[in-house]
Amino acid sequence: MMSSGESPQSNLERPSKAMPPTHPRTRKNEVRATIKDVAREAGVSVASASRALHNPGRVSAAMVEKVRIAADLLEYVPYRAAGYLVSKKFNAIGAIVPTIDNAIFAQALHALQNQLNLHGYTLILASTHYSSEREVAETQALIEHGVDAIVLVGEAHDEKVLRLLEGKHVPYINTWTYNAGGSAPCAGFDNRAAMVRLTNYLLDLGHRRFAVIAGITDKNDRAAERLEGVRDALAARGMTLQKEQIEEMPYTVAAGRQALRKFACAPTPPTAVICGNDILAFGAIYECIARKIAVPQTLSITGYDDFELSSHMSPALTTIRVPAIEMGVGAADYLVSYLAGKPMPKYMEYEAELIVRESTAPPPRAR
């Protein structure tokens, strides 16, 4: 029974008398920590704390470590928008790539981000899925978000992209391509020259019957230049590449297999298949395995990019190693220097190296 002085509230509904203590970090940060709090905790000036967090290259490593420890302790999160309103500088660089579903692009982006972080910049990433319309939209979105500069892939861009960048005075750099005579800065390599080198290697082995599994060349200057590199090398030896010797495909393993099936069933099958990238080459090799076509004894296959898997396949893939890390670092250094008003070479060329492995050999007749 309930006594006369007892509340009608049940025991389950009564508030607990013993409330758990609030975590000290929670109490401390009920009011958001400021840069002044971080400076006080680290025992440095506000200016030094700000430089350590936002421009670490201007202070000592010991200072950076001390300030970051204090910031972590206070769970300090800088409110960058306020600084942007004052300085008109967001300390962010945008990058627009065709796809993030590609290990080589990921490698370049990782190098780009690491180098930008060293200079106090943040990387903001966008992807176009090889669509020029998406590149226009992503360029506008990055500009609207206040990026200080943008990294692009390739040299062929929609005129709207260039108008946006020039109209808003946003500096940019092209990567994965090299053109010392172009109006835009670039950090890349000569796709055509690299493919000429690879094709000449196959020609020197004795191959005369070729097929090409290219990337889709429409609105993709890198894929187009690689295909032209094959044509140039063959033309120099008095040979031509016919339409039936070329398949333009999306960069997938399935597409590589599909193209190889067509070439394998041709009246006069090729002795060498040149692929526009390693993914297409993987598909071609898998199809050869399924059809019991010996690689390279019957058919030589080459790629382009040098994925990590390329050296571990059986047979290991002959390919072109693209300078992904160098391009990422070079693009970051150029834009950071440009924004700081420091001199920097406008055109940066890196070597695309021919890597010879087990997937290529002289054609059967030559052997």
User: According to the model, what pLDDT value does residue 24 have?
Assistant: 42
User: According to the model, what pLDDT value does residue 59 have?
Assistant: 86
Q: Count Cα neighbours of 233 within 13 Å in the Cβ-side half-sphere.
A: 23
CA distances from 282 to 293, 344, 363 (A): 14, 39, 20
Nearest to 51 by CA among 41, 39, 43: 39
Q: In whole angstroms, what is the distance from residue 250 CA to residue 131 CA?
A: 13
Task: Spell out the per-residue pLDDT of the chain, length 367, in tens.
Answer: 444 444 444 343 444 444 444 434 434 445 778 889 999 999 999 989 888 887 787 889 899 999 999 998 988 876 655 555 444 567 999 999 999 888 899 999 999 999 999 999 999 999 999 999 999 999 999 999 999 999 999 999 999 999 999 999 999 999 999 999 899 999 999 999 999 999 999 999 999 999 999 999 999 999 999 999 999 999 999 999 999 999 999 999 999 999 999 999 999 999 999 999 999 999 999 999 999 999 999 999 999 999 999 999 999 999 999 999 999 999 999 999 999 999 999 999 999 999 999 999 999 975 5
Joined together, the tokens standing for residue 311 give 């050296």
Count Cβ atoms within 10 A of the Cβ of residue 124 and give its class: 0-12 exposed, 13-18 middle, 19 or more buried.
middle
Q: In whole angstroms, what is the distance from residue 5 CA to residue 8 CA?
A: 9
Q: How far is CA 332 from the centre of its chain?
A: 12
Q: What are the helix (H) ranges across the chain?
A: 24-28, 35-42, 46-54, 61-73, 80-87, 103-118, 132-144, 159-167, 191-205, 221-236, 253-264, 278-291, 324-339
What domains are defined for the chain? 26-78 (1.10.260.40), 88-189+324-349 (3.40.50.2300), 191-322 (3.40.50.2300)
User: According to the model, what pLDDT value does residue 158 have?
Assistant: 94
Nearest to 310 by CA among 289, 271, 287, 280: 280
User: According to the model, what pLDDT value does residue 194 have?
Assistant: 98
H-helix or E-strand spanning residue 352: none
Nearest to 360 by CA among 283, 275, 247: 275
User: According to the model, what pLDDT value does residue 19 have?
Assistant: 42
